[in-house]
Structure 1
Amino acid sequence: MKVLELLDKLQDLVENGATVPFSTKIIVDPDEVLDLLDEVRAEMPGDLKDAIRINEQEKMIIGNAEREANKIMNAAERKVKELIDSDEITRSAYNKAQDMLKKANSESLNMRIGSIEYSAAMLKDLQDKLRDMMNTVEDNKIELKELRKSAINSRTPEIKEGE
């Protein structure tokens, strides 16, 4: 994921910045930091596209599960009709057909629940990753503001000519 690579670069920039003498503060190039933040913002829509894609996959999985369940139900209903038409095994066939219908309904429900749970887990994972990235970006922005203030406050006044 490109956003994570950009955040790693930003972290390297902060961790490897020149230190201010007699201080734990560091000096970073604000233009370089701002460029990296702009790149992170530009990449964020890609992560959002991933979330949309996952949501569409969820719908497709659910649709496939419902279609498969309908096929199973239709096959079971056809089998029920065939068995009912047969005089010799009507009662046995009816019971088997009912069992098949119950099994088909159960499998259909299990498939649907499984696909929903999978999609929900994927979306939650993506949401957690996006939240972590946003928190990191916010923390870095706050740290950069503090570094900027520190740098501004540590400027030495220029000695006037003639003094």
Structure 2
Amino acid sequence: MDVFKLLDEMEEILESSSSIPFAGKTLVDKYELLEIVGEIRSKLPDEIKQAEWIKEERQRILAEAQSDADTMVKEIQLHIEEMVDQDEIVRQAHERAEEIIEKAQSNAKEIRIGSMEYADQLLKEVENRLMSLGNNIKDIVEVVEANRNELKGDK
């Protein structure tokens, strides 16, 4: 492959270049090496370029998927919180309904007891009046009998 030849050429340039004593550095022709690097890039197979594009695309897709997943998780959390809030509202409504029913039953019981006491009181008043009326009738009957007996005795 031509790429390997170009890499060999770069290596040969580096090995044959002048070195700077005690610095561990080498003087090279920058433009000559850049030209070789450019040729290497142009000779790289399209598959390598595609692989790089695929790698970048993969990263973009993963980032997008992560973003979508984060959004979905937030939406689900909000939905769950709403459901919990609604459940709490329903629970409170049930408690309030039970309180209202309990109070209504208690009021109904008090009203029944009150109406029974009132009916008992009215019946006692009626009984007392009837007894009084009965006593009055008895007195009247006695007076009528006494008058009748008196009239019979006059004859």
More helix per residue: 1 or 2? 2
Higher relative contact order (CA 8 A, sep 6+): 1
What TM-score comes out, normalization by structure 2 length? 0.41
What TM-score comes out, normalization by structure 1 length? 0.40
Bigger-Rg structure (1/2): 2
